[in-house]
Amino acid sequence: MNYEKPTSEVLVVDTSAILSGKQFDDYDVLIITAALIAEELKEGGRDFRRFEYLQAKGLEVHSPTKESLILIKKTATAYGELKRLSVADIHLLALAVDVMRLWEKSVCILSDDYSIQNIASILDIPFLSLSQKGITKKFKWVSRCQGCHTILSESVDACPFCGSPVSHKVQTKESMKKKKR
């Protein structure tokens, strides 16, 4: 896949971007990641050395605000993505919200994670994929009991009414317009 250069002022990168081996040296943007993304990398290994190299080249590590974390969790819950996102993913998305709202800078998330991309698209945060096509539709997921077919408001593994397994299905799909980054 040909990788597009972002036209935003800040690039927020997730673990897959850090581990991709992609060089960010020629980008004229601030490159940041969430502190929890940094914690996913174990000291001493090749991946950690890659992370240290990127930090030496200017990668900054930040923590998001509580307000942005709450917004991401509410959005992810409303769209059935909360169980699909790791805590580090939630922090990464919240950090992107902070860049837009508090730093007042244009932002682009660099991630191959479809759930990150889905929440980003719902919140109108531009994103780019590294090695995959990326999503083209916004999804809303629901939990549905396989036994009594009840649509549940929370993502659970077993139906609280009949005890049957619960499946997670796409309730709605909405086409996305391609945004400039």
**Using one digit for the tens of pLDDT, what is the confidence trace for 96-154?**
999 999 999 999 999 999 999 999 999 999 999 887 777 777 777 677 888 998 888 67
Mean per-residue pLDDT of the chain = 86
* CATH code linked to domain 10-134: 3.40.50.1010
Residues 6+ apart with CB under 8 A from 177: none
Q: Do 20 and 132 contact (CB within 8 A), yes or no?
A: no
Percent of residues, the chain, with pLDDT higher than 90: 45
- In the chain, where the domains are located: 10-134
* Residue among 6, 73, 85, 19 at smallest CA distance from 48: 19
For residue 158, what is the DSSP state? B
Q: Which range among 49-53, 90-94, 113-117, 173-177 has the greatest average pLDDT?
A: 90-94
pTM: 0.80
Determine the pLDDT at residue 168: 73
Question: What are the structure tokens assigned to 140, written together?
Answer: 């809303």
